Each structure stands twice: as structure tokens, then as C-alpha cells.
Structure 1
Amino acid sequence: MVGPVTGLSKSTRAALIPLFLVALGVVGIENALTRYFAVAKWSEYGYWIISIVMAGFALSGVAVALFRDTVERHGAWLRAVLPATMVLAAALGYERIARNPFNPLQLQNPTTWADQLLNIAGYYGALLPFFFLAGLYIALIFILNPREIGRVYAYDLIGAGLGSALALALMFLVHPFLLAPLLLVPLALAPLFQPGRFSTLGGALAGGALVLGEAILLLGTPPAYSEFKAVYAPMNTRGAEVVAEVRRPRGHYLMLDNFTERVDADVSNNASMMEVEGPPATYGLYRDGSRIAALPKAGGLGGGYADSALSAAPYMLRPRAGVLILGASGGFRLAEARALGAERLLVVESEPVLKHALTHGLGPSRGLALGDDVRLAEGGPLAVARAAGAAPGERFDVIDVSSDFIDAAPANVTALTVEAMQAYLAALDPDGMVSVPVSIRDFPVYAFRIMATAREALIRAGVERPEDHVMVYRSAWNARILISPTPWSEADVTALETFAAARSFDISWRPGLNIEAARAGLFNDLPVVSFESGTVISQGTDDAIAREAEAVLQGRDSPSSRAFNIRPQTLDRPAYYASLRLDRPTTLIHRLEVLPQAEIGALVNLVVLAQAALIALLVLAAPLMFRKRKVAAPEPRRLWPVLYFPSLGLGFLLIEIFLIDKAAFYLNDYSSAFALVLTSMLIFSGLGSLIAGRVVALPKVASFVSLIVVLGWIWLVFTQGEAVMLSTLDQPAWTRGLLVLAAAAPVSLALGLPFPLGLIQVGEGRMLPWAWGLNGAFSVVATPLANLMSREVGFSSLLMVGAALYVLAFLALPPGRQTRSTLDPLPVSSPA
């Protein structure tokens, strides 16, 4: 067996430049569509885009396999005209989704959900043609250049990686709704670099298609915020004005000025009797249509309302406190803490735009003069708490989590994990406390999840009776959970009861609480409701949290632990909105109308997974159709591709999603993590694919070396990864970014080898495009599957399953066989 021809003709190299541009444009438009869903709808529905992309690729692979001879015969002509058709398909599809009246809220209504299913089908009908054509183009390049599979796949991956990077860079410059018009340009440029007799025709068609496509996008139905987004009502209030706009890959920010914007503080119903002023008017800051904070107007940063706020209790219990505040809430949390007598403040603000607004201002909202008593910390909450715990002089009396902190940035969910609470407890003075807010508007289950997490942190800290270290008090809509490293004293219990009674708040748990006696004096009814039936169980006024608090804190079974997931949050399983039991689909369907919007993402993943699995099975069965078509040279039956390519499609994505999540925690920024990991993995995998063409004579050996690198990397991550991350959390952002790149590069290089090696092994027949489509079909299965696995089992499970899949792929790959593409010293197919 001899190696491949290493010398590439100039025309063949030029033929791969259009592939690079097409891959760049396709992935860029995929990013633009995902941003559209995040801004105009809700981000969890962006999983449909991934599903549509890979479905289009998979179906195109099957189509090319079925009609391989015809596609190859007309390959030069198709390669010239396909970019123009892709431009038009992308423009028409994007304009159609802007007109789609899809309303996610109506999916939760038993009388309206059927119409919304038709709207979802409309998304597929609008976008599938574009991604089918894109997949057709890529599969065409594979079958026209079977001797250069590694190089073709490398151009595809590197183009895709740079397309993702380009889309993210453009998000700094243009509105998310204008990304698609810009990203049509690389597609239209592709035919200009295509040599051969059809290049002029292709360039002319692409130029005309670009002009028409831009007209469709810019003059057709403009994308807009849907009416159910939080920003819609304030934007359409009389006199409302957008006073500032910030464009970032992490989100599109709008700052609004209208009379409805106020500090979202939970204040006592007795505030007027206490002669406490109400929360002041503010500017409202929205990211992707969701409100994340209030920003102060001139002279409006007073904290006079703080004494009546639910969050005030820790400051009453610990006068003149040294405080670590997680989330400045535009500066209002600082004003509240100062008004309540705090003397030393360290502030963690993880959301970069909010942090910049705090120090430098945003639009008409001026930056704050922090003063000598306030320091703004660098890094995320876990890093700051760990540093404080290691420095005795930095201990705090109160660690106060702001009510809007968790929703202000995706990476902030790690602030409520067991590991984070361990760090908080270590950073407190012995009589200090952690104050954690919980919304109980939907269910009290989130309070139980925080209590279960606190219990686990206390047990890891050596506490024998966690129930003596926790107190819970609440209003009608929100609860605060206080956690102390030492048991609560009688004086603390009495002080909290006095605080709550003066403000009509209720104590839902304290050491020794008599539940029945407490029911008689409740200010705010919180009835016990059966999730299965939706009926109220309790009679008279009641407190659903008080009914189960002791059982949760003692780790015993309770009604909520049976109906929901109330297990502790950890760095391996950090999702805050993950209380639904997915093993009870009938109950979820019956109670769909009351599910919190933040929980719907898991159900969307289930639906996408089901449809992805169906598509994958259809693609898997495609060879059955091959036998019904008469061809000159029938291909032998081979089972190994059925195991090999699905394993690679699943395994690669599982490892990629694991890396993105861990990098998001490490960098404290999901958008930067996504961009860095995705771009680096695609580019380094592309470089690995280039190596595949040089080791084709020894595919099993090369695959074994790749497997050893992957397994060794996974072993290092399991044994050393978390320790390295935690020990370097205090490093500058650029240093941590380089460490993420250093972690992603070697495994990505190894992951780039197996796929082209497998394509070379299947030969030049119909199995080649089918194998490419099969890999794509199972890649779309991987995304919802990974999200569900990480939610239910933990992110570490992605690595374990990924390792098993790559072992399976290695075992399935044959040691090498005699094929035309590996034996005959024929030139690469003419690029024509």
C-alpha cells in the first residue's frame, strides 16, 4: 500500500478555497440565526437551528449517495451554481422566519399548542433548503476530490471555525438582526475563486443572487422582538426612549427610560407605616430582551427604602458588617448596604456591561464614585471567596447574593453550587452568614434546592446538624435563606423574628420552629399545592416551605423531593433551573401551563432529541435504498461505518460541549468560552485532518495514536482539571484564556484524525457521502443529548461517554483495505 499523492496542483488548491468560503458563510449564518432566536424569541429555542443545520447536512449526504453518479457527472456545473442558490435560500428563509408568528408561551396552553407546532414546522420549511444545499455543496467537494479527503475536511473545518469567529466579531459592530445580510457575502464570493469553464457563470449568478438576497433581507419583513419578551411592553410605553445600546457577542443591550422602570426590590407592605420611601425611578437595562438590572438616574441612588427590604435582615443581625456583595444591581445594592450601616464592601460584578456601567457609566447613567469603603473585585464569586478564605484579614460578616445576580449572566449559576457555598463558609467570620435569595413565585422548590445545596456544603465542612445552621424567611413572592458556619444563637433567632414581624414577613424555618404555631400568625399565605393534580392540599393559611424545610435539611424524603429534583447543585451539575423530573412526562404535559419559562429548555431538548433520533435512524437506513438503484459497480456490504461514524459524531460534540461549559465557568463568561472553544476546536481539528492524508497507509496505527491522546487527555481532565481551574481562578482573563486554548488544542488535533481516516477507508462510492451525512445526523443527536446528560447526570458523564464512543470507533475501523483511492496513482479529480 502506498501513501497518497502529496503534490497538489494549483487548480486543486484553488478549488478548495470556495469550500472554505462556503463553510465560513454557512456557520456564520448559523450563528446569526441562533442570535435571532436569543434576541427575538428565547435562547433555548435556538437548539432548533442546530437541529435544522445537521438535518440538512444529513439529508444532503443521503441524496448525494443515492444520485452519486449524476451529481459527479454534473459536478463542475453544480459547484458553480450552488453558491447562488444558497444565497437566495438563506435570504428567503431568514425573511420567512421573521414573519413566523411563533409564540413560545402558547406552547404551554392546551388550547393553542397545536397551532404553534405548525409554526415550528414553518421554521424547518424555511431554513432546511439552505442547509440542504450547503450540505450538498460540501458532499460534492468530497466526491470530486476522494484522494484528498483530509485536505477537504480541513478546509471545511477551518472555514467553519473562522466563520464562527467572524460572526462573533461582527456582533460587536452591528445589530444581531443585521448579521445575516453581511454573512451572505462569503457565500457569494465562493464562485469567484472557482477555476474552470463555469466560473464566470457562477460569479454572475452569485452576484445577482447577492443583490436580490440583500434586497429581500433589508426591504422585507424586519425581524422584531416578540410581544412576550420582557422588553416589548416598556419599549411600547408612551414616552419610552432607548437611551443607550451596546452590541456584544454575549448579548444585545438596550437601556430604556420610561415611567415604568423602578428598582425591583421586595419591600414590606408596611413600608408606608414605617415612613420609608419607595424604590426610586431608574433606567432599565435589557439584554436580548430580558431585563437584567436597574441603573440609577441622576440623584436617584438613594437607599432609603432599604430598611423595609427583604434583603435587610443580615445587616440588622450584624451591624457595621464587612460584606461581600455578589451583584451590584447597577449600584443599588451598594446604596442599600451603606444605608443599612455596612462599613466594608467588596463587590463582585460578573456581567461586564453592568461592571462597566458601575464604574464608568452607561448612556445618561453616570458611573459611581465607589469611595474608600468599597472595592470592586476581579474575577467571579468562587475565585473571590476562595481568595478571602485564604487570607484571614479578608473574612466577612455577610456574603450577600443579589436577587438578580443569577440571571444577570449564564456563568453566574456556579455561584450557588456546593463548592461555592463551601468557599463562602470558609470566607466568613465564625458568626457570619450567607444570604441567598430565592423566587417562590412559581414553586417553592427552588428554595428547597438551595437548602439541599447548603446542607451538602455544611456537611462537607464538618457540620453534623445542618438544620441548626439555616434560617429561612420570606415575603409573598421571595424568600431569603441564611446560612451560618456556626449554629444560630437564640439572640439571632429572636432578632430575625422581630425584624420579620415589623415588616409582615414570615419565618419559614429556624431551629426549633413549631410549624402549627407559626401558621396561626402568618402574614403571607403559601399554600401546599400538589404538582401532579394542581390542587391545593392545605386547609387555611399555610407555609409550604415550613412544611418540608426540616426534612430537606435533614436529607429525608419529602413531597417535593418525590415530585421534583431538589438535589444539590455542584460544579459538575450547576444548572439552577433543573427541578423538573423528566422521567414523568405525563405529569409535565398535564401541568405544562404552569411550568416556569426557565425550565422549558429541558423539554425543548427532549423534543429536539426525539426528532434528531428519527432523522439519524432514517439516514442510518439509507443503504437499504442503495440496493434498489442499479449501478455499474455494486458496493460490498459493510457494517463498520454504522458504528464508526455515529460514534465520531456523538463523541466529538460531547467533548466539545463539556469544554464549553467548563471554560464558561473558568472565564466567567459563556459567550467568550463558546467562541474560544468552538473556534479553536474546529481549527485544530482541521489541522489534524490535514495529518490524516499523510498517514492513510496506516489508518489503524494513526487511529490508535489519536485514541491514546484523547483518552490521556480525558484522564488528565478527570484527575487534575478541576484542581487546576480552582487554583488558577485568580489569574488574569488573558492567562485563563490561553490555558483554555492550551487545553483544547491537543485533544482537538487528535479528534481531527479519525473522521477523514474513516472516509478514506469507505472509498469513492456512494458510501462516502452517506458516511459524511451519517456523521452529521448523529452530531445533531449529540447536542440535545449532551444538554440532558449534563442536567441529569453531570458534565463529567459527557467525557466518560465520549471516551467510550472513541474506543468503539477505534475497534470498528478496519485495519486497511485495497481501494482505488489508496492504490491507483491517479491524479486528484479535476476541479474543472
Structure 2
Amino acid sequence: MTGAADKTRTALIPLFLIAMGVVGIENALTRYFAVAKWSEYGYWIISIVMAGFALSGVVVALFRDTVARHGVILRTVLPAAMVIAAALGYQAVTANPFNPLQLQNPTTWPDQVRNIGLYYAVLLPFFFLAGLYISLIFILNHREIGRVYGYDLIGAGIGAALALGLMFVVHPFLLAPVLMIPLALAPVFQPGKGRWAGIALAAVAFVGAQYVLFTGAAPAFSEFKAIYAPLNTPGAAVVAEVRQPRGHYLLLENFTERVDADVSNNAGMMGVAGPPSTYGLYRDGNRVAALPRAGSLDTAYAPSALSAAPYALRPGAEALLVGLSGGYRAAEALTLGASRVDGVEGEPVLALALQSGLGPSPALAPDPRITLLEGGPIAAAWRAGPASYDVIDLSSDFVDAAPANVTGVTAEAMRAYLAALKPGGMVSVSVSIRDFPVYALRVLATGRHALTGMGVGDPSAHVMVYRSAWNARILISPTPWSPADVAALEAWAAARSFDVSWRPGLDVTAARAGLFNDLPSVSFASGQIVSTGPNDAIANEVAAVLAGRPSPSSEAFHIRPATLDLPAFHSSLRLEDLPTLIRRLEVLPQAEIGALVNIAVLGQAMVIALLVLAAPLLFRRRTSGAKDKPRAWPALYFPALGLGFLLIEIWLIDKAAFWLNDYSSAFALVLTSMLIFSGLGSMIAGRCAAMPKAASMIGLIVVLAWIAAMWVGAEDFMMRTLDQPWAIKGAMVVIAAAPVSLALGLPFPLGLIQVGDGRALPWAWGLNGAFSVVATPLANLMSRDIGFSSLLVAGAVLYSLAFLVLPVAQARPRAAPLFEPAAPADPFADLPDPAPAALDPFPAKTQTSPA
């Protein structure tokens, strides 16, 4: 390798470090929002990042000559400026009094909208400066586009991996300050003039940034988070802490913590004690479960709990528990007479607490009747085989304990559970009706889908529903319920003042007279409670849902089965009726707000993307004094790539999360793998510059073949290999991501080579970033309402479109560029030649050159 080649690569190391730091800080800000606010508001960070990149691309396109002329000064100053902007922005973010709950209050939401605007105002400068630096490096190395983009992507991939690795050791509120280090180190590797000045500026900026960060107000949990009140009670203490990419876990000791059990109001008359005192485990400020104190588990309350009915109906049951709630669910089942308990805990930290304990909370005591199973609930049911259990019991906190757990209440999961039951066995699913009774109807629709898929003609004969005022239990059996089962459940519920909302043959009207817990219907359109006396909103609609007919709630909500393709549990709102949703914002559950946040981010992303798309209207040709029409293909090509890449990435993350039973590790593996392999693909693209259409066709064939293979065989393959060790599945995720990522890395640099080195180069980069902003909220909304498979279809269409519009011939010399800038001073005068002759991948006759 020549010395010139060494210098070229050395010149790109600062870009590598900048990309590493920027993506790392982006991840750190997302974690901050998840911990201090709510995770769905982290979408704003993605929007702000790409908005900054897109804006910088437009600015550099407009002032391309000025930027190139002052390239030495800019690459000397920008790293230090980024460090200062990142520090000031992060400090302002942590001091922002944004309260998302007040967005749902008609009198307080204007203040919160202003606070959202402040987030943009304080963070946009940092990401604008980062985009300016990257655009500058593209301009100064326009002959080495593939290599430049490769360094950018690989640096971003390493930055994502670094941020995720640091989450194991660094408090989430300190991640951003630590990840400013790569930004400050960038000038150290910058060759040419200005190096020492850049080092000095970066050092001063880094010291100043740390002073700003550590002398200002410390970041803290907002008062609306579940952890805030117990953390601030007298005598409260944090007795254990776990730092991981999947969350920041705190184990609290305070007088408010109790077992999460919905017990009967008649518990005192039954002579049953209430739930015992426990520790409280919180992830990102949200309560995950109760963990036991030292000593044996006190489950005296179990006979009065809502979850106890299946064990009364099936004495001596062999049970599979999905979600063990710190071990209490297993102890409850044994107290209620279960003869054997197999347990699945999908939340990894809860699983570790069961096996090894967590802080002062002890591990689950050894008991020959209890077996802890690896993997997720579907894998456990498949491994068990037919006729294995009398009861399969999903705990009340299972769905909310981990993002990947939503797959445990899909139709595919229900079919696996039903197949693992003995004759007369049952699946027991807990559903919170505290916010909307509609969630119980969605589980019923899912159960119906599973039953009919198994050949059951009348699902209503296989379902019973009973409830308290706050939670419902849905019992689903592969065989029809017998009259003895119906009578036993009614007697059991009556003794505890629980209501039976459905059983075979129920007269809903007559049953209202004997209700213990009124559950009125709510008109979502008017916001009014509709009740003329005792009512049961679930009972009113069960028959219609189980028969597959429309029900009153289906006009305002999605009453549809959850599947692996449409797994989102809290996705009942009909987003097409947006005006009504906005009018009734105050009654929406927090879990449903994420969809509205996505719509807001998508709307602003579309505005940004259209503004960037229109940027060429501001460009001016200066060759003959007349304006020249810009070519149309970049306006289609680069948005298609920005959208397509993210759609495929999000699909792969979701499927890996289901397979690995962990969203965080899936995100880490897929994001890092795709960025690194795409970076390698971009470097390969530089060697294919003479044949852009042929190289693009090869990439398209690989992408389409991969999409077809995933569409046809991915789900079946994953279902058959759910019981494989995590390490094997993780390695296979990387292997699956590698070929498509290499292919996805080809089109973007090939397109940049085609547009040449004029103003269109940074504009194209900005276009890609702007439409990447659109992709994230769009993908979330598509997967919520259409299904994850739609992301693959859209990705295939977008990459096919990009191939069709890419020109056959390589860009000509500057005699015919897209936009002609005024002739600048030589921007490379102080740099080693970015593309020395020994490395020049382009024939001389097709070489583009600076004006």
C-alpha cells in the first residue's frame, strides 16, 4: 500500500470517529427519553437527527463553493463546535420541564408543545454541525465516495455497538457526556494544516463541556414516572441496580411495595390475609414486578386472587406459568393445589432474579415441583408437546414486563398453548380493563382466531370470562365447557364478588341484576359514560366478537386478533379517526399515545423531506447565465433508498426480537450488523463505479431474493428453531443480516458517484437523511395497522424503483454537472490528494474534478 493511500485512509479516520460519536449520542439521547420520560418520545431524537442532517445537506448544496473554499477551517473548528453544541443541548434537554401527561389536558398542552419545540431548538445545532462535517468530507473526497460512505457507516455501526456496550456500565444519564470523547478525538487523526489548532480547540471544548454538564442541574426522573413517588417516600432506598441496553433497573425498598395481585373485596370475610410487603423492581422508571424479601414466599392471599379460578376448576393441575412475577405466581399455584409448575420468564432480569436473586431479594427456593424453562412461551409449549398441561396461565404483568412479550398473546401463541393442553385443559389470560375494556375484546378475538384455526365451529362454547373492577380473566379451552365447569366458576366468582362476563348460555340482560362490579360502556365519540344501571361492557360484546360479527366498540376501536405479523397489544385506536382522538386525548391510555407521537413525527418529517426535495429551486446555474433544468432521477432515487433501508431494518429487528425473545439484543445485533456490512458494501461500490447499473442490478437481485426468502420461510424457520440456544440464534441473525446489508450498501454511493461533485452531492445526502426521518414513524405505523410483512413489500418496491431510475452511464465531467457552482479556490491545496493516482478507481476520461 502506498504512502498516499495511507494518508487517504488517515484523512477519513476523523469521519469514522465523528460518525461513531454522533450515533452514540443519538442512542444516549434515546435512552435518556426512555428513562426520564417515555420511550415513545425517543422518536423525536431520530427526527431531530435526520432533520439536522437534511438541513446541513441543503445548506452545503446552496453554499458548496464557500464550504469547499473554507474546508480547512471548517474541519479544524467543527469537532470542537460539535462538542460544545452537544453539551449545551444535552444540559438543556435535561432541564426541560416537558410532561407528556399534560399533553392530554386541554388547558396545559400549549405549554408542553412549546417544550417540545425547545427540544428541537437545543438539539438541532449539534446534528446540523455533524451533518455539515460529513457533507464537507464528501465534498473534499468526491472521488472516493464509496470509501467515504463506508467509513461513515462503519463508524456509525461501531458507535451504536459502543453505546450499547457502555449501557452495561454507565448510568443512562451519563452516556451522552462519555460519548462526546470520539468527537474530541477526531482532530488528533486529521492530517494537514490545522491539525494542532483542531486538537487544542477540541481539548478546550471537551473540558468546557464537562464543566457545563457536571455543574448544571442533574438529570432526574420526571414526577409522572411510576418510580417517582416510591423513590421519594420516607425511608425509601435503592437496594440493587442493573444497567443494561434493555433498561435501567432499580430495586426499591419502601413501605408502598406489595405483590401485584387483584384480590377479592371479600378477602377479610374469607379469613385471607392481604398481599405481603415486597421489594419493587422498576425498569426505566416503570414498575416491572414485585420481588420477594428474605424468607419463604407468603402466598396466603392466593385463594382470594382473581387468578385462582383455574386451579379451583382443575385441582392438582399441571401448569405452565407464563410470567412468574418474581416467583410469586409459582408459589401461588402450589398454594392453590397445583401438582407441577413449569415457568417461563421472558424478562431477562426477572429470569436472573429467579435463578440467582437480585440484591437482597433471594432466588426462588429449590422445589422439585417447580421447573424454570429457557426461552419464550411459544417455545415452551412446542417443547412440551400435546397433552402436557391442565392450565397454561399468563400472568397479569407479563405483557408489560418486556417488549418482546407481546408475541406471547398472539394467535400463533394461543394455538401453541391449546395444542399443549390435556383434554379439558384451559389457557388463562389476564387482561387489564382499567383503561379500556376493549383490550379484553381483542384477546377474545385472538382466542377466536386460534380456535377457528384448529377447526372449532362455535368458539363461544369454549370461552369463559370473569372479572373484577380492574382486570378480566379469559379462560379458553380446546374442548367445550361442561355445565359442571360453568356452575363451579359461577359459585367461585360469587363467593369473591367477582363477575362472570361470559359463559356458554349466559343471558347478558338477566346477569346485569346481580353484578358486583359495574363496568359501564363508554362512548368514545362523546366521551360520556353510557349507563342506565348496572352494566358490563365486556358482556355486552362478547357474543358478537366470538361470532366474528361487528360490535359497538369496533366502530371506534380495532377489535382484531393479534398475530406475529400484527403483534402490538396496545394498538386498538383507529388512527383514521384522528380528529376524534385529538378531542378525546385526555382519556387515552399512555400505552396508546405512542401511535399519535408517530403521526406527529411523520407529519413534521414529511414537511422536512418536501422542503429538502424542493431545495434545487434555490440553486442557480452560473455557466451561461441561464437556468438549467435539474435531472429528476435523484429526487426519486435517494428518497427510495432512505425509506427502503429503514423499512427492511425495522422488519429484521422485529423478527429477531421475537426469535431471541429480547428486543434490546435484537436491536443491537441488527443495527450494528447492518451498518457495518452496509459500510463494507459501500466500499465495494467504489470499485464498481465504471459499471453502476450492473452493480446496482446485482445488489437489487440480492435484496429481492433475500426479501422473497424471508417472506416465504422466515416465520416457519423461526417457529421450528425457537428452542435453540441464544448464542446460535444470535449468530444466525448476524448471518441473515450480512448479505442483504452488503447489497443495501451498494446503491447509495453508486448514486452519489452518478450525481458528480457539484451542489447535487450534499443535496442527495440530505435527501437520503430527510426520507430516513420519514421511514421510522412510517414503519411503526405500517407495522401497527397493516403488518410487518408490509415493510418487506414496500422495501422491495422502493429498491426496484431506485434501480429503474439510476442512469446507465456514469456522471460526466464537470462540463455537464447537475448544478454549476462558481469556481472556488482549490480546496485540496493543503490536503493529501484524496484520490491519488495509485488508488484512482475511475478511468481518467470519466473522472469528475473540482470546478
Q: Smaller-chain TM-score range?
A: over 0.9
2:228 equivalent to 1:232 = yes
Q: Which residue number corresponds to residue 363 of structure 1?
A: 359
Alpha-carbon distance in structure 2 between the residues aligned to 1:374 and 1:828: 71
Aligned to 1:529, the other structure's residue is in SS state strand
Gaps of 5+ in 2: 815-841
The question of whether the paired residues in 2 share the 8 Å contact of 1:145 and 1:829 is answered with no
Q: Which moved more, 1:815-824 or 1:86-95?
A: 815-824
* Counterpart residue number, 1:351: 347
Q: Which residue of 1 aligns with 2:826?
A: none
2:335 pairs with one of 339, 351, 354 = 339
Task: Give the match for residue 81 of structure 1.
Answer: 77
* Segment drifting more, 710-719 vs 621-630: 621-630
Is contact 2:689–2:810 with CA below 8 Å preserved after alignment?
no
* Displacement after TM superposition at 1:526 (Å): 0.4
- From 464, 468, 479, the equivalent of 1:471 is 464
Distance 2:685 2:452 in 1: 51
User: Offset at 1:7?
Assistant: 9.4
Between the aligned partners of 2:126 and 2:628, the Cα distance in structure 1 is 31
Give secondary structure in 2 for the equivalent of 1:319.
coil
Matched, 1:327 2:323: yes
What's the CA shift for 1:8? 5.4
Match of 2:7 among 4, 8, 11: 11
Aligned-partner Cα distance in 2 for 1:820–1:367: 70
Matching residue of 1:580: 573
Match in the other structure for 1:102:
98
Matched, 1:406 2:399: yes
- The residue type paired with residue 357 of structure 2 is G
Partner of 1:377: 373
Q: Deviations over 1:153-177 (max 9, x none)?
A: 0000000000000000000001000
Q: Structure 1: where are the runs of 5+ without partners? A: none
For the Cα contact (< 8 Å) 1:417–1:574, is it kept in 2? Answer: yes
Q: Which one of the candidate residues 696, 706, 728 is aligned to 1:703?
A: 696
- Measure how far apart 1:215 and its partner are: 1.1
Counterpart amino acid of 2:417?
Y
Aligned runs of 1:423-572 on 2, under 5 Å? 423-572=416-565
TM value normalised by structure 2: 0.95
Q: Which residue of 1 aligns with 2:606?
A: 613
- Aligned residue pairs, count: 823
Matched, 1:774 2:767: yes
Which one of 714, 717, 724 corresponds to residue 710 of structure 2? 717
Q: Distance in 1 between matches of 2:11 and 2:847?
A: 14
Which residue of the partner structure matches residue 669 of structure 2?
A: 676
CA distance in structure 1 between the partners assigned to 2:779 and 2:143 by the alignment: 34
Give, in whole Å, the separation in 1 of the partners of 2:527 and 2:5: 70
- SS for the counterpart of 2:429 is strand
Q: CA RMSD in A?
A: 1.6
Normalised by the length of structure 1, the TM-score is 0.97
CA contact (8 A) 1:281 1:300 kept: no
Paired with 2:528 and 2:343, the residues of 1 have a C-alpha distance of 43
User: What's the offset of the Cα at 1:9?
Assistant: 2.7
Assess if the C-alpha contact under 8 Å between 1:280 and 1:300 holds in 2: no
Q: Distance in 2 between matches of 1:666 and 1:484?
A: 27
Structure 1 SS opposite 2:426: strand
What is residue 765 of structure 1 aligned with on the other side?
758
Matched, 1:195 2:203: no
Aligned to 2:389: 396
The one-character-per-residue Cα deviations of 1:55-103 (angstroms, maximum 9, x if unpaired) are: 0000000000000000001111111110000000000000000110000
Q: Does 1:30 align with 2:26?
A: yes
Paired AA for residue 480 in structure 1: R
Aligned to 1:287: 283
Deviation at 1:299, TM superposition (A): 2.6
Identity value in percent: 71
SS at match of 1:375: strand
Query: Are the equivalent residues in 1 in contact too, given 2:391–2:427 (CA < 8 A)?
Result: yes
Q: 1:376 to 1:528 in 2, by over 3 A?
A: same
Partner of 1:302: 298
Range moving further from structure 2, 216-225 or 448-457: 216-225
Inter-CA distance 304–631: structure 2 relative to 1 (3 Å threshold) = farther
Distance 1:737 1:350, change over 3 A: same
Which residue does the alignment assign to 1:752?
745
1:538: how far off? 2.5
Between stretches 364-373 and 59-68, larger displacement belongs to 364-373
Contact kept? 2:690, 2:810, Cα under 8 Å:
no
What CA distance in whole angstroms lies between the structure 2 residues aligned with 1:28 and 1:632?
45
Q: Which residue identity is paired with 1:469?
A: H
Q: 1:722, CA displacement in angstroms?
A: 0.6
In the other structure, the counterpart of 1:643 is 636
Q: Report the CA distance between 1:630 and its aligned residue.
A: 8.4
Q: How far apart, CA to CA, are the structure 2 residues paired with 1:487 and 1:134? A: 63
Ranges of 4+ aligned residues in structure 1 off by more than 6 Å: 628-635, 825-830
User: Is the CA contact (8 Å cut-off) linking 2:755 and 2:811 kept in structure 1?
Assistant: no
Summarize deviations over 1:751-800 as a string: whole Å, max 9, x none: 00000000000001000000000000000000000000000000000000
Q: How far does the alpha carbon of each residue in 1:267-309 deviate from its partner, in whole angstroms, 9 at most, with x for none? A: 0000000000110000000000000000011236111100000
> What CA deviation, in whole Å up to 9, does each residue of 1:163-195 have, x standing for no partner?
000000000001000111110100000001000
| Match for residue 597 of structure 1 among 590, 594, 610 | 590
Secondary structure in 2 matching 1:583: helix
Amino acid at match of 2:5: S
Q: Distance in 1 between matches of 2:54 and 2:297?
A: 56
The worse-fitting range, judged by mean Cα deviation, of 266-275 and 215-224 is: 215-224
* Contact 1:282-1:300 at 8 Å conserved across structures: no
Cα distance, 1:820 vs structure 2: 2.7
Bigger mean CA deviation after superposition, 101-110 or 218-227: 218-227
2:260 counterpart of 1:264: yes
1:736 to 713, 726, 729: 729
SS of the equivalent of 1:398 reads strand
Q: Is the Cα–Cα contact under 8 Å of residues 226 and 286 in structure 2 kept in the other structure?
A: yes
* Secondary structure, aligned partner of 2:76: helix
Provide the C-alpha distance between the structure 2 equivalents of 1:568 and 1:818, rounded to a whole number of angstroms.
52
1:632, CA displacement in angstroms?
A: 9.1
Give, in whole Å, the separation in 2 of the partners of 1:10 and 1:368.
58
**Residue of structure 1 in register with 2:834 after alignment:** none
Deviation (angstroms), 1:515: 0.9
**Residue identity matched to 1:501:** A
Q: 1:828 to 1:295 in 2, by over 3 A?
A: farther
Residue 829 of structure 1 deviates from its aligned partner by 8.7
1:286 partner letter: Y
Distance 1:501 1:721 in 2: 48
Correspondence for 2:214 = 218
CA contact (8 A) 1:488 1:511 kept: yes
The answer (yes or no) to whether the contact 1:449–1:567 under 8 Å persists in 2 is yes
**Does the CA-based 8 Å contact 1:656-1:678 persist in structure 2?**
yes
Structure 1 SS opposite 2:153: helix
2-structure distance, mates of 1:581, 1:362? 41
Find the counterpart in structure 2 of residue 152 from structure 1.
148
Change (3 A) 1:693 1:535: same
- Indicate if the aligned counterparts of 1:417 and 1:571 stay in contact, CA closer than 8 A: yes
Cα-to-partner distance string for 1:13-58 (whole Å, 9 max, x where unaligned) = 1110000000000000000000000000000000000000000000
State how far apart, in whole Å, the 2-side matches of 1:818 and 1:308 are. 76
Matched residues in 2 for 1:363 and 1:818: separation? 63
